[in-house]
A and B are shown apart, each in its own frame.
Chain A
């Protein structure tokens, strides 16, 4: 179990794992997020993640999308919703979300960098 005490998700063809890696928290997305309403599982997951990152004053979190084959627009909404939560907390409390993506997967190249524009300064696409 990771230090945030968050369970991994395995729903339909989607896997989301939370690990401690080199003293950073990493959230890894694998498979396909193409359910009708992925927010049903992702919204509570991201809410818990957000609350615990703030509570433990963790300042950086890695998100690894490299093995995610597909993310539908409802899934993008869920990720955007998480990032937008950072707009509701003070700058001192905020953490940085590092997004790692796969340059061989076209939607990742086009869609993931746009997450930079949601809340200035909180997302770094790498």
Chain B
């Protein structure tokens, strides 16, 4: 895992790592501590760390190459934070992601989250398909998914 950290005035941190599950908690802790002491209040730092962790879980689960990375951009004046997670995935995984995104990106975030939770409880395949709905509800941010060839970019902007 490599860590590239710039000063706060540069407005971003970036972490790049091979898709290993055990690194996610480490990245989550790093982000949480960095934001808590540097940029925002504890509650906001917690939400960002949770969102980053959920996005990285998806990225690591479905990564087809060793190129998963996360960028956290900060606008100090407005304290808006944007998280961007990028990875390469197989077509089948991309289609599943797009289908979940389409399903959860409209409507009341709480209702959507509860609906996804009920559906997740009925799944028996070890998957939850709950992360994006959780992020949208818990952070109140703007979620976006973009695909370019097999590269998947999932971002969330939190004001």
Whether A39 lies near B138 (C-beta < 8 A) is no
Give the interface SS of chain A, mostly helix, strand, loop or mixed: helix
Q: Which residues of A contact B69 (CB under 8 A)?
A: none
Q: Which residues of A contact B137 (CB under 8 A)?
A: 110, 114
B157 within 8 Å of A (CB atoms): no
Could you give, for residues 30-62 of chain A, a 1 whenever the CB lies within 8 Å of some chain B CB and a 0 otherwise? 001011110110000000000000000000000
CA separation between A81 and B123, bound complex, in Å?
Answer: 9
B73 within 8 Å of A (CB atoms): no
Q: Which residues of A contact B21 (CB under 8 A)?
A: 35-36
Whether A73 lies near B128 (C-beta < 8 A) is yes
CB proximity to A under 8 Å, residues B122-155: 122-123, 126-128, 130-131, 134, 137-138
Can you report 28 residue pairs joining A to B where beta carbons are below 8 Å apart? A35-B21, A36-B61, A39-B126, A40-B126, A70-B25, A70-B50, A72-B53, A72-B131, A73-B120, A73-B130, A73-B131, A73-B134, A74-B130, A76-B117, A76-B130, A80-B117, A80-B120, A81-B120, A84-B118, A106-B50, A106-B138, A107-B138, A114-B113, A114-B114, A114-B117, A114-B137, A117-B110, A118-B118
Given A80-B121, A84-B122, A115-B117, 10 further pairs, Cβ under 8 A: A34-B53, A73-B54, A74-B57, A74-B130, A77-B120, A80-B118, A106-B47, A107-B50, A111-B138, A117-B110
CA separation between A110 and B47, bound complex, in Å?
Answer: 10
Give the size category of B's interface with A: 20 to 34
A105 within 8 Å of B (CB atoms): yes
Complex partner residue of B110 from A36, A105, A114, CB under 8 angstroms:
A114
CA separation between A81 and B53, bound complex, in Å?
Answer: 22
Q: Which residues of A contact B42 (CB under 8 A)?
A: 106
B82 within 8 Å of A (CB atoms): no
Whether B53 lies near A76 (C-beta < 8 A) is no
Residues on A facing B (Cβ under 8 Å): 13, 32, 34-37, 39-40, 70, 72-74, 76-77, 80-81, 83-84, 105-107, 110-111, 114-115, 117-118
Complex partner residue of B134 from A76, A81, A115, CB under 8 angstroms:
A76
Could you give, for residues 49-88 of chain B, a 1 whenever the CB lies within 8 Å of some chain A CB and a 0 otherwise? 0100110010001000000000000000000000000000
